[in-house]
A and B are shown apart, each in its own frame.
Chain A
């Protein structure tokens, strides 16, 4: 084997890692996924029949506000939800069901084929172990035979790859000695240690300042170029999605409201919630007069225990016909364009409104 140059991703598998079989169909497929929790106050429907695919080497952005079911969806994929969660539907990874997989099988997949980057890296890293030790653990779990010096070498390479300065010293430091941005990079280094085919990044840039956000996203993109892994990017920040994602899933109150390419979502939204989100973005290209304020979506997201009837968004929707279909009938996700779906009865009204606004 050649000496890895600084730009190569450190090869982690010790011996003949089987080359990845060519994928036919999606890498990850989620069908009618519903997750609910029984609480003292009632049943919380955290995710309600979500269906989406992630293709190999693709970046899918999952967008929604807090409580829209983004994180629960990703936890369900890795089987990390507590036993109290009631999960129905199908999750298949490379054609094999993750819902039916045993804990042992899931342990084989976690961190090796599907890895996760968590938000708030300070809390997500164990305070009593050095960063190097925690990265090494991720490798050792799946490659028990790697020797100590080789392991250390690899941890340093990984830290170097995600842009940690002085990795030979940093590898022995503890998470609290890192800055916020560095911790998030260390988290990324840990997640890519085994070159997973799917990276789930749960709000990787939340709580980082904007320049660090950009750096972290840049690292993610660079990693993806190297490893050809697919990324599921969970965020509430449309700006992040715009820069990185190929396709976008917009979630509201545990339901998918719109799915489409990043261009479709940003330029041709077909759901009133997406429209509202976009309008709420501060923009440099539009002159605001002195007294105008940033647009906001009126009202609060609903309680997941007492969801509004019909479309969950109708109480906040400017296009809703109430009383009418919107508060009586639940809209299904339907095609509104090529590979573009929306669950809005009045997708055309949204389209018209957007058109007026853009002109």
Chain B
């Protein structure tokens, strides 16, 4: 098992290098870091300073080399927009996104597995059809649309109808002004709507996947063997069915989570959460090259890392992979 993991980890090093280089190259060739200073009176000199600082006279490979050298030492440069260290900004944004995604993924996975297993074991039942119909709605519903509906129905209407001082669920940020911390009611009231918005699509997608995977497994010969041994139905479903049906789902979830770190942009924008998505939009609008570079590279690393995690989990769950 250890050799399997270390081999997988070694494989991902070149992937990370290539992915980060391509990301770096894409940002550097799209944005001109000197654009903002060039037009001013002292423009020429300021622009030259920036070129020297970012090694823009060198080839893209050397630029990447300098950037990477600094990055691995924890120096991602400073934002041209806020003049803050990029590392600090990324850490803060990442922390907020992590809260959103952590809860979102946990809840989505639990609900999706439950729905998928129920649908598969009660195939063609009324509830199965209901879940199928709802999942199509979920798949078709854009996050920006669902988010607004959720705000209107669950935050605005109840507040107006019952004349409340505060909405039941907040729709801005993760905390009220004077609050902080992760385990209080205020936090939960802030989290419900964005997490709900985020989970609609993932639940719809994963429950479909889990249903298909479970149906596939439940028709396998070893399920019949387990029943022929006298194993009660519930144990057959969980110990033999679910255990095997989870293997493909885990892969899908791990891959999706990696992508979500950069992909919760819409949800974060709707609910004004200072996460990775907001940071990305703000940096693009400001042409903040240092932040953008770091953002794209870190996101790429995350996607690769979760690919690696998917591989490792696959090995943990399936002995046939682990030992070969």
Residue numbers of A with Cβ under 8 A of B are: 78, 80, 103, 107-112, 115-116, 118, 120, 123-128, 130, 137-138, 141-142, 174, 176-177, 187, 190
Q: Which of B220, B230, B244, B317 has the most CB of A within 10 A?
A: B230
Q: Is B185 an interface residue (CB 8 A)?
A: no
Q: Which of A120, A125, A187 has the most CB of B within 10 A?
A: A125
Q: Which chain A positions have C-beta within 8 A of B220?
A: 123
Q: Which chain A positions have C-beta within 8 A of B320?
A: 127, 174, 176
Interchain nearest-CB distance for B52 vs A (Å)? 59
Q: Is B232 an interface residue (CB 8 A)?
A: yes
- Asked if A127 and B318 make an inter-chain contact with CB atoms under 8 angstroms apart, the answer reads yes
Interchain nearest-CB distance for A140 vs B (Å)? 9
A-B contact count (CB 8 A): 75
Q: Given A123-B220, A123-B221, check contact A128 B231 (CB 8 Å).
A: no
Q: Is B233 an interface residue (CB 8 A)?
A: yes
Tell me, in angstroms, the Cα distance from A187 to B228 when the chains sit together. Answer: 12
- Asked if B222 and A80 make an inter-chain contact with CB atoms under 8 angstroms apart, the answer reads no
Q: Is B181 an interface residue (CB 8 A)?
A: no
B310-324 residues at the A interface, CB under 8 angstroms:
317-320, 323
List 12 A-B pairs, Cβ < 8 Å: A78-B228, A103-B233, A111-B231, A124-B225, A125-B222, A127-B244, A127-B319, A128-B317, A137-B229, A137-B239, A138-B230, A190-B225
- Asked if B228 and A128 make an inter-chain contact with CB atoms under 8 angstroms apart, the answer reads no
Q: Which chain A positions have C-beta within 8 A of B154?
A: none
Q: Which of B227, B229, B244, B323 has the most CB of A within 10 A?
A: B229
Interchain nearest-CB distance for B313 vs A (Å)? 13
Q: Given A174-B320, A176-B319, A176-B320, check contact A124 B221 (CB 8 Å).
A: yes
Q: Mark B197-237, 1 if CB is under 8 A from A, else 0.
A: 00000000000000000000000111011111111110000
Tell me, in angstroms, the Cα distance from A108 to B240 when the chains sit together. Answer: 19
Q: Which chain A positions have C-beta within 8 A of B222?
A: 123-127
Q: Which chain B positions have C-beta within 8 A of A174?
A: 319-320, 323
Interface of B: prevailing SS:
helix
- Asked if A126 and B230 make an inter-chain contact with CB atoms under 8 angstroms apart, the answer reads no
Q: Which chain B positions have C-beta within 8 A of A111?
A: 228-231
- Asked if B323 and A110 make an inter-chain contact with CB atoms under 8 angstroms apart, the answer reads no
Q: Name B231's contact: one of A109, A118, A125, A137 (CB within 8 Å).
A: A137
Q: Name B221's contact: one of A78, A118, A138, A190 (CB within 8 Å).
A: A118
Residue of B nearest to A127 (CB): B320
The 8 closest A-B pairs by CB, nearest first: A111-B230, A111-B229, A110-B230, A123-B221, A126-B222, A116-B228, A138-B229, A124-B221
Q: Is B81 an interface residue (CB 8 A)?
A: no
Tell me, in angstroms, the Cα distance from A115 to B226 when the chains sit together. Answer: 11
Q: Is B38 an interface residue (CB 8 A)?
A: no
Q: Name B229's contact: one of A110, A120, A128, A176 (CB within 8 Å).
A: A110
Q: Is B243 an interface residue (CB 8 A)?
A: yes
- Asked if B230 and A120 make an inter-chain contact with CB atoms under 8 angstroms apart, the answer reads no
Q: Which chain B positions have C-beta within 8 A of A123?
A: 220-222
Known A-B contacts: A128-B243, A128-B319. Give 6 more (CB < 8 A).
Answer: A107-B230, A116-B225, A116-B228, A125-B222, A128-B247, A174-B319
